[in-house]
Structure 1
């Protein structure tokens, strides 16, 4: 099967700081790096490294050839990535010494994905494939509708959170993943808790507190987090999502998929960077829960 990901592609600029700046404060960075990122690219790389066949649907600018090449190197099928006449998206990511971050994104090419590009890409999808999208591109609802009509599993990571965007796509979903803050925002906007959304599978991630799984309107299981010392939390949620979807694609149970994704996320927070440092399946399987 194939995972089809309508997702962002960013150039991530990381600034490692003693602490996150306060309003009006100027800080000298401890170090600075640049690499491949974007929630979409991160998820595609994670799913590919977890053993799934991933087709990425997205856009870069004339300056974005390096990003497409790097995705290809990481095992992602890039034939459905287009080029537009706007610069590739960029993200400015500040990371403090506790691993917490703040992020500013210029969406650039990510918001110029055409409906024609999406429909052409998904014309190659088969029933029982998986479609996933996030909120860093345009065309999510149209793409989700095409995928649902073709009997794909429609998955959605509700970040960056927008109540309007989530409410528009909710009727098309069979799988929703969001963090604890986003779950609270969605409940406030809709008046419904995760188990009342009418979605087959909902996962609420809670960082160091683990994750909760809701199946068919019930809170079926909570998963404890793996205790590690975080260096950088950026991309950990995307890594988790990519591994969960890849596990499902490979025929693992949802419990097995989440357990594997918890290991991948734990490894990820001990590394600095995003797509370029996502662990592969062998690393995750060999990761000791006692370390």
Structure 2
């Protein structure tokens, strides 16, 4: 069982020729409203890979929230743990030609008390994996040993909070621009941190690929799978959801990361934040890839 607790968004997606700079005016080529949110997207991705998935992020009592949860259910996500006493947050996503994007997001109601309640409920249900996103690292309570923590750190602006969360997690996924660029944790420290805290560290780097540092000191570095990019919105969420779904199914972290990379590539070749493929689509795609890419994935 994997419980996802975090961002659920109503995404207002705006396609523009290029992402504007301060004071610049550009004409949108298309505007749409669709379901999104880091955590909800990752939950959908994991469910499409066949995992038992629960979404526990708080939403509202309104009709739009009902539609949002219904769409998750259609993808095989159990939403019975999602509180309805809050609101569905909004994100504005600017997508430029070529797939570059900027995101303006509204904070959501998933505070420390809500996260603690979800962790306690998961432990009482017999345990499983708890998947948190971004800044929620600062909210982490002491965890029951039956709860295995997974964190996507993108969106966390506090290095100290990120490192506290790292010490509690079994798996941490983070973008290289944040981990190395903003936090200053360079590649020479990754295996040391993973070994010290018995944590699998998966650092994603967009079109350059990914790096996995394991608690036993191993490091695997692999390039991204090449595709024609439509837009990259939600590709990182797809990567995280696919990765933890296969880890939960018993695949090795390296094998899971390879499958996640292929899944994220397919997401980039599809418009929208939930372009993650189905399991059958992923299997068909990986069958066309090289022996190196397929190593350990079966």
Common fold by TM > 0.5: yes
Mark the CA change 1:82 to 1:264 in structure 2 (over 3 Å): closer, same or farther.
same
| Counterparts of residues 12-161 of structure 1 (less than 5 Å) | 12-63=11-62, 64-85=65-86, 87-111=87-111, 114=114, 117-127=117-127, 129-135=128-134, 140-142=139-141, 145-146=142-143, 149-161=144-156
CA RMSD of aligned residues (A): 2.3
Describe the superposition over 1:2-26 as per-residue Cα deviations: whole angstroms up to 9, x where unpaired.
Answer: 0121221111111011100111111
Report the TM-score, using the length of structure 1 for normalisation. Answer: 0.89
Q: Deviations over 1:209-238 (max 9, x none)?
A: 111110116342112211112111111011
- Counterpart of 1:178 (choices 174, 185, 190) is 174
Q: Distance in 1 between matches of 2:140 and 2:113?
A: 13
Superposition pairs for residues 186-225 of structure 1, below 5 Å? 187-188=183-184, 193-197=189-193, 198-199=196-197, 200-216=199-215, 218-225=217-224
* Structure 1 residue 283 corresponds to structure 2 residue 281: yes
Q: Distance in 1 between matches of 2:76 and 2:212?
A: 29
Q: Which moved more, 1:26-35 or 1:240-249?
A: 26-35
- Does structure 1 conserve the Cα–Cα contact (< 8 Å) formed by 2:46 and 2:244? yes
Moved over 6 A (4+): 189-192
Structure 2 residue runs without a partner (length 5+): 291-298
Question: Structure 1: 5+ residue runs without aligned partners?
Answer: none
Higher relative contact order (CA 8 A, sep 6+): 1
Query: SS state of the match for residue 270, structure 2?
Result: coil
Q: CA deviation at 1:88?
A: 1.1
Q: Which residue of 1 aligns with 2:162?
A: 166
For each residue in 1:166-212, what CA deviation from the matched residue of structure 2 results, as whole angstroms up to 9, or x when unmatched?
Answer: 13322211211111112214652799822222242111111111111
Kept after mapping to 2: 8 A contact 1:18/1:30: yes
| Paired residue secondary structure (1:82) | coil
